[in-house]
Structure 1
Amino acid sequence: MDRIVDITTDGCHLSRERGFFKVTKEGAEVGRLPLDEIITVIIHAHGVTVSGNLLAELGERVVPVVFCASNHMPRSVLIPIEGHHAQGGRMRAQLQAKTPLIKQAWKEVVISKIRMQAAALEAFTAPHAPLTMMARSVTSGDGNNVEAQAARYYWPLMMGNDFRRDRNSPDVNAILNYGYTVLRAAASRAIVAAGLHPTVGLHHSNRSNAFALADDLMEPFRPLVDCAARALADRNGPQVNTEVKHSLVRLIALDLPLGDGKTPMSVALTKLATSLGQSFENGKLTLALPRPPDALTLAGLGT
């Protein structure tokens, strides 16, 4: 079972003990979990200490450790430097990938994202046909910036006319921040496990962004977080409480249509990253991108 550990209590100490992730406070144990079940650790609290042995064990299992600010955005992410048996060759192929292949990869990612946005709007009975049309007009590298056009259409219908995506806003944006942090950590883990480097992106290329490729590959999955965030905000308001976090963390286990069957989101991210790595090596693009779940599933996220 894939689990995300979220540390929200101040003054905890995190350590390893005989294959377990152990949490203590003031010398007393308050929780433990098998290390092999953990895929991400997120730390929000103040005064948390972490043992070196635990970090080494998490690194061996390709588990990122995310340190967040008060707005639930990641401020630091620790990832292992070794995650795949063919990592050296695959990273060289990633760095030497030809521009046409990179642009085609970004085109497919954008199309997948817009189709997921269209499905999300349809699930909430909002007009979605314009997004379906936009997805058909994406060109190599998205030179016409259809992704941004789709976003301008999508957000008012998904979150309301007054909504603005602002990472520092305390409204539903705070819920989105947390959901995207979970998604970004899962994408980072998938990328390292596939032998790729998360800094070298397809489209995102900010010099200060160490996780550009994670930000690229998580794009098609973002609307799933949006659906859950909308439902959670409608029911409980904008606060990011324990219920909200649990609901968003559970998204990594959501079954998504992929290929001839269905696979959990965490596995879908791994398959996407692996397919990209293989595409870099082969020089021929074949991306394993998920299809949108049915409308009933999308409408039920976060409830």
Structure 2
Amino acid sequence: MDQIIDIATDGRHLSRDRGFLKVSEDGAEVGRIPLDQIAGVIVHAHGTTCSASLLTELADRGAPVVLCAANHAPRSVLMPLEGHHAQGARLRAQWQARTPLLKQVWKQVVVAKIDMQAAALKAVGEVHGPVTMLRRKVTSGDTTNVEAQAARLYWPLMMGSEFRRDRAASDTNALLNYGYTVLRAATSRAVVAAGLHPSIGVHHANRGNAFALADDLMEPFRPLVDCAVRGLVARNGVQIDTEAKQTLARLIALDLQLGNGLTPVSVALCKLATSLGQSFETGKLALALPAPPDPLTLAGLGA
């Protein structure tokens, strides 16, 4: 099963040892995990050191290494240069994708995000009708920015009327930062594995954002983090302890309805990225977007 590894204790050394990521402190081993089970490594501790051979092994498996600031927002992501046997052709198709196709991609992503937001609100007993209605107003490319309209309705209901989304804040926002970092790492891995370039976004186009496409594709999955954070805050407050990190890291194993069966989030991200790559190559849009989990599952996240 895919796992996100979090390194939060200063003085740890990460190395490769016969197919395992080994964690050591003062020369003594304190833990290990099979490399093939790692979906990503998130480093918060400032005194962490890594061997070059470990970084190479993680790159071979498409597992990103995310370096975070004190507010748990990512500051750097190490990703492999190659990720797919047909990467060259797919990258050309991605770069040459026509604007109408890109606009339709973003429309479907926004609609899927709004559906997930509405399902999340319904699951936690909040009014969801106005958010649900907005999905009908999303146009090609979301030129009227319905995504932002939905966000203005969604956040006060999900997190309280006083909440403001601020990446630099140390309150609930820090928990959201961590959860989104986990999700971004898993999405980045999926993008590279699909032979796509993470900096060539569909909608996000900040010149300084090397992971614009990952930020695009993770949008429909964000409300899963929001539900988990809401549950964590209600139970334990805003502290980011080991239990909170483990709860958020486990979200990539949550089963979602995709097609005719259930698929873990990490696999759903891979299928979504792959379907986007295939859409670029064929010129015909066919995105593999999951349906929201059932209300009981959503309400239980973080509880």
TM-score between both structures, scaled by the size of structure 1: 0.99
Task: Give 1:291's aligned residue.
Answer: 291
Q: Secondary structure at the match of 1:228?
A: helix
Question: How do residues 261-272 of structure 1 correspond to structure 2 at under 5 angstroms?
Answer: 261-272=261-272
Deviations 1:129-185 (A, max 9, x none): 111110011000000000000000000000000000001111111100000000000
Question: How do residues 61-210 of structure 1 correspond to structure 2 at under 5 angstroms?
Answer: 61-210=61-210
Task: Give 1:255's aligned residue.
Answer: 255
Runs of 4+ in 1 over 3 A off after TM superposition: none
Deviations 1:239-260 (A, max 9, x none): 1110000000110000001111
CA RMSD of aligned residues (A): 0.5
Task: Give 2:56's aligned residue.
Answer: 56
Instruction: Give the Cα–Cα distance (whole angstroms) in 2 for the partners of residues 192 and 98 of structure 1.
Output: 21
Q: Secondary structure at the match of 1:42?
A: strand
Q: Which amino acid aligns with 2:274?
A: T
**1:235 maps to 2:253:** no
Instruction: Give the Cα–Cα distance (whole angstroms) in 2 for the partners of residues 64 and 189 of structure 1.
Output: 6
- Point out where structure 1 has 5 or more consecutive residues left out of the alignment: none
Task: Give 2:3's aligned residue.
Answer: 3
Give 1:101 deviation, angstroms.
0.1
Give 1:18 deviation, angstroms.
0.7
Instruction: Give the Cα–Cα distance (whole angstroms) in 2 for the partners of residues 32 and 295 of structure 1.
Output: 36
Q: Which amino acid aligns with 1:45?
A: A
Instruction: Give the Cα–Cα distance (whole angstroms) in 2 for the partners of residues 193 and 215 of structure 1.
Output: 16
Instruction: Give the Cα–Cα distance (whole angstroms) in 1 for the partners of residues 39 and 115 of structure 2.
Output: 28
Q: Secondary structure at the match of 1:207?
A: coil
Give 1:261 deviation, angstroms.
1.1
Aligned residues: 303
Identity %: 72
Q: Secondary structure at the match of 1:63?
A: coil
Q: Secondary structure at the match of 2:71?
A: coil
Q: Which amino acid aligns with 1:62?
A: G
Q: Secondary structure at the match of 2:239?
A: coil
Q: Which amino acid aligns with 2:120?
A: A
